[in-house]
């Protein structure tokens, strides 16, 4: 152990609670601080730190040290070195070694320590790529990408995706925030993708550098997965994206993913335009049936508030609350027939509106005529 390094490591630390311990085959110095636990391993002219603000476990420290200790004397460069670990009951399965000048920890302490200080961080195989630039890892992992705390050892894994392109609208309900951005793969596939308009394309990469190239085609995303020199067809229901493709971003082999879901199965969905106190849409956005019905039930009975739903074959059902004098607003429900220049409609209950929207989504037909007693207007 280098005494000067030990003195430097302790310098300007607020706590005096230090303990020498042996973890497995490693003699370490443990600092119990106000904000967490810091474990230091000194070796010749280098010092390695592991810090935990939450969920500290000695068996995790031991596993990480076992995984990376043989790399401490190497020329580590400006890349990360991810090594597998397997600790029972611990969700993270990689020990990520950051070399001198790349830690973000020692650089804040002392110039001399910055030259010889290393850090090991627990991560998940879907969060880091071995050999990737340390700067990119820090930005994706601890920065604005996943915004994880490297000291939170009790967290759940969050597989990441690098979104290289989204051809989305510049403004509106769904606004792609940027290109070449890192985000949670589950957020991308399970939330963000559901709101993308028909025809919009996503290009995203996982940590193994496989590229997913898919475009919204009504209730599916279709396209390809590029894995090295191989290209595979992708056709997945919009509400099964994470379930089907999630294994890719969990770092599994391509064969673990479901790239094509049953072509005879469809997800009931519609396009919707909303006008209420929160939204006044100029365009339409996709919604699955459950969300469409929530819009119908949640539309406040205020004069002029309306919803327009369009099905796959362009059939339309629309509704608007209308106030006539002092009476409570009533829900006007209608279907336009542009080829006839006619509107067929009548006042309806919310339950009747729900049924019309359900038929439009599931059967792709306009069933307003089945309500009977319709008023027909022309234009």
Task: Report pLDDT digits (tens) over 164-215.
Answer: 766 655 544 444 445 678 999 999 999 888 888 888 888 999 999 999 999 9
Lowest mean pLDDT among 40-44, 145-149, 161-165: 161-165
3-state secondary structure of 255: helix
Distance of alpha carbon 21 from alpha carbon 39, whole angstroms: 10
Distance of alpha carbon 23 from alpha carbon 47, whole angstroms: 16
Burial class (CB in 10 A: 0-12, 13-18, 19+), 310: middle
| pLDDT exceeds cutoff 70 at 99 | yes
**Nearest to 285, CA basis, from 306, 310, 304:** 310
Highest mean pLDDT among 142-151, 160-169, 286-295: 286-295
3-state secondary structure of 47: strand
**Model confidence over 246-287: pLDDT tens digits?**
999 999 999 999 999 888 888 899 999 999 999 998 889 999
Lowest mean pLDDT among 1-10, 80-89, 138-147, 308-317: 1-10
Which H or E run contains 141? helix 134-141
Counts for the chain of helices (H) and strands (E), in that order? 8, 20
| pLDDT exceeds cutoff 80 at 218 | yes
Model-level pTM? 0.83
| pLDDT exceeds cutoff 50 at 2 | no
Distance of alpha carbon 212 from alpha carbon 56, whole angstroms: 36
Buried-state track 214-226, b at ≥16 Cβ within 10 A, e below 16: bbbeebbbebbbb
Predicted pLDDT at 166: 63
For residues 4 and 24, the model is more confident at 24
Q: Give me the mean pLDDT over the 328-332 stretch.
A: 92
Residue with tokens 């290393």: 118
Contact residues for 119 (Cβ-Cβ < 8 A; gap 6+): 48, 49, 50, 51, 97, 98, 103, 104, 105, 106
Predicted pLDDT at 145: 87
Predicted pLDDT at 83: 98
For residues 342 and 283, the model is more confident at 342
Confidence bin at 129 (pLDDT 50/70/90):
very high
Predicted pLDDT at 12: 58
Predicted pLDDT at 327: 75
DSSP calls for 178-235: -SSEEEEHHIIIIIIGGGSPTT-EEEEE-TT--EEEEEEETTEEEEEEEETTEEEEEE
Predicted pLDDT at 16: 65
| pLDDT exceeds cutoff 90 at 70 | yes
Distance of alpha carbon 344 from alpha carbon 332, whole angstroms: 11
Predicted pLDDT at 3: 45
For residues 35 and 353, the model is more confident at 353
Distance of alpha carbon 164 from alpha carbon 148, whole angstroms: 21
Predicted pLDDT at 46: 92
Q: Which two tokens stand for residue 96?
A: 């990520």
Predicted pLDDT at 275: 95
| pLDDT exceeds cutoff 70 at 317 | yes
The residues with which 348 forms a beta bridge, in sequence order, are: 331
- The strand pair at 81-84 and 18-23 is best described as unpaired
C-beta of residue 169 within 8 angstroms of C-beta of residue 286: no
Predicted pLDDT at 167: 64
Predicted pLDDT at 132: 95
Predicted pLDDT at 144: 84
Predicted pLDDT at 17: 72
């Amino acid at each position: 152990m280098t005494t000067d390094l030990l003195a430097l490591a302790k310098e300007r630390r607020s706590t005096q609670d230090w303990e020498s311990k042996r973890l497995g085959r490693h003699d370490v110095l443990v600092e119990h601080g106000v904000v967490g636990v810091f474990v230091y391993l000194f070796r010749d002219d280098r010092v390695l730190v592991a810090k935990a603000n939450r969920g500290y476990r000695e068996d995790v420290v031991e596993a990480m040290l076992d995984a990376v200790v043989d790399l401490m004397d190497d020329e580590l460069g400006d890349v990360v070195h991810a090594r597998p670990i397997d600790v029972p009951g611990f969700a993270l399965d990689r020990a990520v070694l950051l070399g001198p000048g790349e830690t973000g920890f020692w650089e804040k302490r002392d110039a001399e320590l910055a030259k010889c200080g290393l850090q090991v961080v627990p991560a998940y195989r879907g969060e880091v790529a071995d050999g990737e630039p340390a700067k990119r890892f820090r930005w994706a992992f601890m920065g604005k990408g996943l915004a994880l705390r490297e000291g939170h050892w009790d967290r759940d894994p969050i597989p990441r995706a690098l979104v290289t392109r989204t051809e989305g609208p510049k403004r509106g309900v769904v606004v792609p925030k940027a290109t070449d951005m890192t985000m949670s793969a589950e957020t991308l596939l399970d939330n963000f993708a559901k709101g993308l308009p028909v025809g919009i394309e996503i290009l995203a990469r996982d940590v193994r550098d496989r590229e997913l190239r898919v475009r919204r085609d009504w209730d599916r995303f279709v396209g390809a997965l590029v894995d090295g020199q191989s290209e595979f067809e992708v056709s997945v229901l919009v509400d099964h994206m994470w379930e089907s493709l999630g294994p890719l971003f969990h770092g599994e082999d391509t064969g673990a993913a479901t790239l094509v879901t049953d072509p005879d199965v469809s997800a009931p969905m519609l396009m919707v335009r909303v006008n209420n106190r929160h939204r006044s849409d100029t365009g339409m956005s996709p919604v699955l049936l459950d969300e469409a019905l929530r819009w119908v039930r949640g539309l406040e009975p205020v004069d002029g508030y309306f919803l327009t739903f369009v099905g796959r074959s362009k059939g339309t059902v629309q509704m608007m609350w209308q106030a006539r004098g002092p009476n409570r607003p009533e829900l006007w429900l209608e279907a336009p027939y542009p080829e006839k220049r006619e509107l067929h409609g009548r006042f309806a209950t919310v339950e009747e509106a729900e049924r019309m929207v359900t038929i439009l989504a599931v059967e792709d037909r306009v069933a307003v005529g089945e309500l009977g007693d319709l008023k027909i207007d022309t234009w």
